[in-house]
Amino acid sequence: MLQLGGLVPLTSIDFPGHLAAVLFCQGCPWHCSYCHNPHLLRTDVPSTLEWGEVMRFLQERVGFLDGVVFSGGEPLLQPRLPEAMQAVKALGFKIALHTAGIMPARLAKVLPYVDWVGLDIKAPFHAYKRITGLAGSGHKAAESLDLLLNAHHVDYEIRTTVDPTLLGKADIEQLAVSLAKCGVKRHVLQTCQKPDKSGMF
């Protein structure tokens, strides 16, 4: 069902106000220098977990956990994400999604099943390539933000990781103003932690 790189059985911080498990989806096509999970970027590795194992794990946690977080990597890269979310929701769990909004069309498909989204908005949209290494990535993020803000049943947090070597004070101020103009109610700045040469923090 999903190509997974790992599972955290219990978190109280990844889905605000909820006790949740986290499923880490494998693979991301962007190349942010500060990526927090560089070991999850490759797509040419086998899933570390079978979907049947995940569902058995979750069935045993019904009544103990409030929700399940789909994180990564980039969960939207998984073509069967809507199906996976529906299966998890059918067990009674709330659904959270951590995404950089790389594929707006896929975000639109999963929003009906999602209760909360942590959306990374990495920079003013015109400056995205500085962070992701990919031209056009800012357009994708902007489209995803628009979809999220129009999904009125979904709670959210917009997160910006601040690497001072890539984003200056003026960039952050410009971004904060443009997000406020879009109607964003919750924008959080995160400190950048870069991996060392071994990929560890």
**Binding to ligand SF4 in span 87-116, by CB under 6 A:** 100
Q: Identify which of residues 28 and 110 has a Cβ nearer to ligand SF4 in the complex.
A: 28
Least separation, in Å, of the C-beta of 64 and ligand SF4?
A: 29
Least separation, in Å, of the C-beta of 201 and ligand SF4?
A: 13
Q: Which of 5, 73, 118, 138 binds ligand SF4 (CB under 6 A)?
A: 73
- DSSP for 146-198, please give it: HHHHT-TT-EEEEEEEE-TTT--HHHHHHHHHHHHHHT---EEEEE-----TT
- Of 129, 124, 163, nearest to 145 by C-alpha is 124
> How far is it, in rounded angstroms, from Cα 35 to Cα 7?
18
Tokens for 198?
A: 């071994």
Is 70 a binding residue for ligand SF4 by CB under 6 A? The answer is no
> How far is it, in rounded angstroms, from Cα 20 to Cα 7?
11
Q: Cβ neighbours of residue 64 under 8 Å, at least 6 residues apart?
A: 19
> How far is it, in rounded angstroms, from Cα 151 to Cα 109?
11
Q: Which of 72, 104, 118, 138 binds ligand SF4 (CB under 6 A)?
A: 72
Q: Identify which of residues 42 and 56 has a Cβ nearer to ligand SF4 in the complex.
A: 42
Tokens for 170?
A: 């003026």
Q: Identify which of residues 66 and 74 has a Cβ nearer to ligand SF4 in the complex.
A: 74
Cross-strand bridge partners of residue 65: 62
Least separation, in Å, of the C-beta of 28 and ligand SF4?
A: 3
Q: Identify which of residues 48 and 86 has a Cβ nearer to ligand SF4 in the complex.
A: 48
Radius of gyration of the chain (CA): 16
Q: Identify which of residues 2 and 58 has a Cβ nearer to ligand SF4 in the complex.
A: 2
**Binding to ligand SF4 in span 8-47, by CB under 6 A:** 28, 30-32, 35, 37, 41
Q: Identify which of residues 56 and 139 has a Cβ nearer to ligand SF4 in the complex.
A: 139
User: Per CB under 6 A, which region of 9-17, 71-79, 81-89, 166-174 contacts ligand SF4?
Assistant: 71-79
Q: Can you give the binding site for ligand SF4, defined by CB under 6 A?
A: 28, 30-32, 35, 37, 41, 72-74, 100
